[in-house]
Chain A
Amino acid sequence: MKTTIKILSLLFIFLIISSCSTDNQLVENDIYTCPMQCEGDKTYSSPGHCPVCEMNLTQPVAKVLYDETDLLSENSIFNLTSKWQTQNKETITLKDLKGKPLVVVMIYTTCKAACPRLVADVRNIEKTLIAEDIKDVKYIFVSIDPETDTPEQLKAFAVENVMDDENHVFLHGSVDDVREFSNVLAVKYKEISPLDFSHSNIISVFNPGGELINQVEGLGMDQTATINAIKSITTH
């Protein structure tokens, strides 16, 4: 009987271990403060109420100015672990884009209506920034049509738009990862027919730590807010 129990427990342990893939441990950020600062700069390690004024403890809002450490903010897109291919067929994760302000749009290269205008909007933003001597910005174009927009196709599109340099990154990912990425940007899209999609036109700005700091929705919109957002993180 004892051996049976042994065998059984071994089986159980084996099944438990083999059941699901393990998690990658992500950076934790467990600091809570009282919004009224009743006890000065005191921080708490778990959420709850301030012992003095009983207000809900809050987590400090991430600073807009980027902190040059390796810790990722909870809201950083660099927490996504998906893999992407660039127009130069390099495989990257979003974290590889860390360190510079990012201007991000979602497009598809066979788009006849909105995308050329969206690309033009990005080009105008870039022009304005360069005129003010802000050159250290990356422009990211993520394709919502992974089937058609192979890295080769993206390369051709980059060349055609005179954007084939290291500041312009065109990304190709799996259907699932593109859907996830669009959710981070709150971009909506739907395939209407092969080669044609309906999608929302949003220009997003991320700080060098991968936190979303500005979004402008619509085509041919006033992009002052986008430009100011980038300025706010590049000029110290």
Chain B
Amino acid sequence: MKTKHLILIILSTFTWLGLQAQTKMVFIKGGTFVPLYGTDSLPVKINDLYMDVYPVTNMQYLAFVKQHQKWQKNKVLRIFADQNYLMGWLNDTTLANNMNRMSPVTNISWYAAKAYCDCLDKRLPTVDEWEYVGMANDSIPDARLLKNYNTYILAWYEKPRSYKNTIGSTFKNYYGVYDMHGLVWEWTSDFNSILISGESRKDVDNDKNLFCGSGAVGANDLMDYAAFMRYALRGSLKANYAMRNLGFRCVSDVK
């Protein structure tokens, strides 16, 4: 009888810890690649890391704000999140009836996403890390030159309201990561390293008065239109913006 109890305790503890750890993570073998926007088209080195298999869901974020009042819809400070933050939630701790608990959480600011990852002892991926994992299709780590890979992503850009879909509803990529494309856009830790100004006319002549050294940082392959869209979005964001098709996932370093 005693052993039975013990097993019960251990089992339930593990189940609970499993919930606590929330999202499964997978190992991403590091390497080098040339990002669309880099420095003089030089390869960037990516260290080994773990990445969340799915974007953070409404349900997970709800559990987070229940513990951290500071990040509740009506309590968050404006400097950390604009008025669109958690738009649609009924109140501080209730999702709207029509919201899918297993959809990616959106209308999230950068500060909020960062706080969530910090809380779990994780962090947001860098732009380079995200792009490194995002260039994989279901079978190879770098599918950027494949026509159907780019067509798939561009077709998603035209689909409305994909943020309402359930996590895991898009393809599983080479690393075992889901939903890098086809569900929501995602925050990155250094999104503000994208020096594209809002106005395309300024982009073309590399306005040196706005950006010191901007001539050195430019697009590597403009054919990669899908990636260009992601960089353009990052370039237009501010950290307290909350958008309904912008979510996030976390990563952690390999210690």
Is the A/B pair a real complex?
yes
Interface residues of A (CB under 8 A from B): 3-4, 7-8, 11-12, 15, 19-21, 23-26, 28, 30, 46-47, 74-77, 79, 111, 113-115, 179-180, 182-184, 186-193, 196-201, 217-221
A184 contacts which chain B residues (CB < 8 A)? Answer: 79, 239
Chain A residue with minimal CB distance to B78?
A74
Q: Which residue of A lies closest to B213 (CB)?
A: A198
A residues near B219, Cβ cutoff 8 Å: none
CA separation between A24 and B75, bound complex, in Å?
13
A201 and B210 in contact (CB under 8 A), knowing A21-B119, A184-B239? yes
Given contacts A114-B212, A115-B212, A201-B212, whether A79 and B192 have CB atoms under 8 Å apart is no
Query: A59 — nearest CB in chain B belongs to which residue?
Result: B78
Q: Is B132 close to A, CB under 8 A?
A: no
- Contact residues in B for A196 (Cβ distance below 8 Å): 213
Chief secondary structure at chain B's binding surface: mixed
Q: Which residue of A lies closest to B193 (CB)?
A: A190
A198 touching B217 by the CB < 8 A rule? yes
| Residues in chain B within 8 A of chain A (CB atoms) | 5, 8-9, 12-13, 16-17, 20, 39, 67-70, 74-75, 77-80, 110-111, 114, 119-120, 189-190, 192-195, 207-214, 216-217, 235, 238-240
B9: chain A residues at CB < 8 Å are 4, 7-8, 11
Query: Is B77 a contact of A198 with CB atoms below 8 Å?
Result: no
Instruction: Give the complex CA separation of A82 and B181 in angstroms.
Output: 34
Q: Judging by beta carbons under 8 Å apart, are A198 and B216 in contact?
A: yes
Q: What residue in chain A is nearest B20 (Cβ atoms)?
A: A19
Query: Of residues A23, A188, A219, which shows the largest number of chain B Cβ atoms within 10 Å of its Cβ?
Result: A188
Q: Inside 8 A of B114's CB, which chain A residues have their CB?
A: 180
A27 to chain B, nearest CB (A): 8
- Is A198 a contact partner of B190 (Cβ separation < 8 A)? no
Q: How far is the CA of A30 from the CA of B75 in the complex (A)?
A: 8
A74 adjacent to B209 (CB under 8 Å) = no
Output the residue of B79, B192, B208, B210 with the most chain A CB within 10 A. Answer: B79
| CB closest chain-A residue, reference B37 | A190
Measured CA separation A217–B8 after assembly (Å):
63
CA distance A84 to B79 in the complex (A): 20
Q: Name which residue of chain B comes closest to A26, CB basis.
A: B70
B117 CB to closest chain A CB (Å) equals 11
A55 to B201, CA, bound (A): 39
C-alpha spacing A193/B12, complex, angstroms: 50
The residue that B195 contacts in the complex, of A24, A198, A218, with Cβ under 8 A, is A198
